[in-house]
Amino acid sequence: MSSKVSSNAYLELHNIHQSFGSHQALKDVSLHIAEGEFVCFLGPSGCGKTSLLRIIAGLDTPTSGVLLQAGKDITHAPIKHRDFGIVFQSYALFPNLTVADNIAYGLVSQKVSVNDRRARVKELLATVGLSGSESKYPAQLSGGQQQRVALARALATSPGLLLLDEPLSALDARVRAHLRQEIKQLQEKLGVTTIMVTHDQEEALTMADQIVVMNQGVIEQIGSPQNVYAHPHSPFVAEFVGEMNFLSAEVTGAGQMQSGQLTLHCDQSTHLMQGDKAQLAIRPEDVRFSTNQHDNNTLSAQVIHLEFLGSRVRSLLKLDNHKRPILADISMNEMANLQLKQGQTVQCQLPQDRLHVFGGAA
Ligand code: ATP
């Protein structure tokens, strides 16, 4: 487990525990988030990401632990004394209020004058690309437009922290991809520290500065999208962020593993000892097709299935002496050269600098 400690932390979570009856939803979660960072809490359903966001928002109090925002202990601060804006999955706009009144809602309680409110609403609508929609009602807007209004409402008071709870998951794929970019650009422009909860790895990879990968109430890994993808600390992270093939193996020497009949070399150093069980892992895009069966880590495989994925082709390969097939992705250019066919026997290579090694049996 890792946790990022940054000297200019804006939000600090120290040893947060959350229990619901006998169920421990969060177990000793510590995390530091720097000012202006875009952080994604990423994990499968039930891993505790929403519970953590609710604690940060003050919607729930943790069983134990401390939460600091800009150096101030806010663990028990009531919501009205907290400095954040929030966007939920379900838009949560007031249906009986106009767009303008929805956005200005938080400004009214801050006693901002009518003229200033009107100007701020206009500015925010321009920011989210909905100029001129002041007098519309939520029901007259599409899902994507409603979510833009929800975003404008969350930003109206210029909060120090923006919390996004699966804001895109109710939208269809095209709107989602578009809004993803817009939110990211807006966040960069405003520099507002942002936390987004998502179970969608693509969303986290494309939007986050830091990804916090969660599993069963604990943080499995924290890092930049590039780092988490290239250097997963556990099989869970390897499989949850991106796609990964796994082969079970046994350590037979320094940088050498035996997987079935196959002797594999790998560059990654580990603390594993000879005789230890291991899992070897490789991303589909790292599997190569080779014409030279004497290259290191080269083995015969049969192409079981080919799938056209637009910019690339995915093949399902049955390796000799291995039950579990593996995936290999190649570009359309490579495909044109290789002319792979279903049923064909090929030589595939698992490059030793691309193999990840994890201790323990599968
Ligand atoms: P999802 O993506 O499905 O929303 P999540 O990662 O956000 O999942 P949480 O909603 O944080 O997960 O829930 C973590 C665990 O705590 C789950 O097992 C959930 O059933 C449990 N839990 C959450 N809130 C409560 C509650 N109010 N009472 C009892 N159990 C709860």
Residue-wise pLDDT for 279-296, tens only, equals 999 999 999 998 777 778
Low-confidence winner among 15-24, 120-129, 237-246, 261-270 (lowest mean pLDDT): 261-270
Quickly state the pLDDT bin for 109 (edges 50, 70, 90).
confident
Environment class of residue 3 by beta-carbon count within 10 Å: exposed (0-12), middle (13-18) or buried (19+)?
Answer: middle
Angle between helices 99-109 and 143-155 (to 10 degrees): 20
User: Which tokens hold the place of 196?
Assistant: 């987004």
The C-alpha torsion from 319 through 322 and 328 to 333, rounded to 10°, is 0
**Does 239 score more than 50 pLDDT?**
yes
Query: For position 332, what pLDDT does the model report?
Result: 92
* pLDDT tens-place string over residues 159-189: 999 999 999 988 888 888 888 999 999 999 9
Chain position carrying tokens 């939000």: 11
Closest CA to 194 of 272, 85, 269: 85
- Evaluate if residue 3 carries a pLDDT over 90: no
**Per-residue pLDDT band at 238 (split at 50, 70, 90):** very high
pLDDT at 242 exceeding the cut of 70: yes
Output the residue whose Cα is nearest ligand 1's atom 9.
Answer: 48
Percentages helix, strand, coil for the chain (3-state, rounded to 5) are: 30, 35, 35
DSSP string for residues in 71-88: TEE-TT--GGGS-EEEE-
What is the chain's alpha carbon radius of gyration, rounded to the nearest angstrom?
25
Question: What pTM was estimated for this model as a whole?
Answer: 0.90
**43-58 tens-digit pLDDT:** 999 999 999 999 999 9
Residue 40 alpha carbon to ligand 1 centre in Å: 17
Check if 47 has its Cβ closer than 6 Å to any atom of ligand 1: yes
Phi then psi for residue 56, to 5 deg, are: -65, -35
Which pLDDT belongs to residue 16?
98
Domain locations in the chain as residue ranges: 9-239, 243-359
Percent of the chain at pLDDT exceeding 90:
77
Return the minimum-mean-pLDDT range out of 9-13, 224-228, 263-267.
Answer: 263-267
Question: Residue 7's pLDDT band (boundaries 50, 70, 90)?
Answer: low
Check pocket membership of 46 for ligand 1, CB cut-off 6 A.
yes
Same fold, 9-239 and 243-359: no
Average pLDDT on 219-230 reads 97
* pLDDT band for position 236 (cuts 50, 70, 90): very high
pLDDT exceeds 70 at position 26 = yes
Q: Please check the confidence at residue 2 and state whether its pLDDT lies above 60.
A: no
Closest-CA residue to 330 (of 282, 298, 285):
285
Instruction: Please compute the mean of the pLDDT values over residues 338-350 and round it to a whole number.
Output: 92
Taking the C-alpha atoms of residue 43 and residue 39, their distance in angstroms, rounded to an integer, is 13
- Banded model confidence at residue 59, pLDDT cuts 50, 70, 90: very high
Task: Answer yes or no: are the C-beta atoms of 317 and 346 closer than 8 Å.
Answer: yes
Q: Would the pLDDT of 4 be above 60?
A: no
Q: 223 CB under 6 A from ligand 1?
A: no
Fold of 9-239: Rossmann fold (3.40.50)
The second-level CATH assignment, the architecture, of 243-359 is Beta Barrel (2.40)
Nearest CA to ligand 1 atom 28: 20
Cβ of 215 closer than 6 Å to ligand 1, yes or no, is: no
